[in-house]
Structure 1
């Protein structure tokens, strides 16, 4: 039986350098829940229209994320309660490259996400 990684291996790749030219910092996100079988079909059908990001030949990029919040978890609770206007602050480190970013994401009441990020040395910074 074919797995998801086998399907993704058939995709053309896109590098980090190429991705930097794609404007993902201000976007609209839509999320779906589906079965693995349906996902496999979608990925198989989309392979000629999309590319998969690869870093040093690796597609499944490992990262470590620390989310920051207020003492009473306001940002988490806003998300859980479906508040349309909300903010997320996190520090994300990409394991294989060692790159670390402080990211602030703001979501407006129209479903648009505006993300700002700066490179930092480490979470301790």
Structure 2
């Protein structure tokens, strides 16, 4: 078990407000569970954990989209500096759903922009969702 209770909580509202101001660099690692527990036990004490009504463990559903010629995949597979990811993410515990466009800049930073999305539409791109994504990609 990972000892998340050792860290101070952060509310969803506070996290969303802070995250809206961030442009970030992501690094993801695949670790055995016992290694994760060890890493977490050595984390900076200033780390905070999302807490919603006393819960610190959440589920979400993501659906990823690509072009017919798999452009998003190819840009990533070929390690292009400028690339994108389009997905819906539905937070199963809160019911919120979003269409998200994540882009990588030439300098390696990730920028995520999103719009509210009907959960029932999470497995498809609606006309308004397609227009939103096309407009954002045209600006890049």
TM-score band by shorter chain is 0.7 to 0.9
Counterparts in 2 of 1:1-125, with a 5 A limit?
3-4=1-2, 7-23=3-19, 25-46=22-43, 48-124=45-121
In the superposition, the TM-score normalised over structure 1's length comes to 0.83
Tell me the alpha carbon deviations over residues 27-76 of structure 1, each in whole angstroms, 9 at most, x when there is no partner: 11123344444432221122522011122222221111111110121102
The answer to which structure, 1 or 2, has the higher relative contact order (CA under 8 A, 6+ apart) is 1
Q: How many residues align?
A: 121
In the superposition, the TM-score normalised over structure 2's length comes to 0.75
Tell me the alpha carbon deviations over residues 73-105 of structure 1, each in whole angstroms, 9 at most, x when there is no partner: 110222222222101111111011110111111
Provide closer, same or farther for how the CA distance between residues 20 and 72 of structure 1 changes in structure 2, counting only shifts above 3 A: same
Q: Any gaps of 5 or more consecutive residues in structure 1?
A: none
List, as ranges, runs of 4+ consecutive aligned residues in structure 1 with deviation greater than 4 Å.
Answer: none
Q: Any gaps of 5 or more consecutive residues in structure 2?
A: 127-140
Equivalents in 2 of 1:66, 1:32: separation in Å? 21
Contact 1:10 1:47 in 2 (8 A): no
RMSD value over aligned CA atoms? Answer: 1.9
How far residue 15 of structure 1 moved from its aligned partner, in angstroms, is: 0.9
Provide closer, same or farther for how the CA distance between residues 69 and 123 of structure 1 changes in structure 2, counting only shifts above 3 A: farther
Equivalents in 1 of 2:120, 2:65: separation in Å? 11
Answer 1 or 2: which has greater helix percent. 2
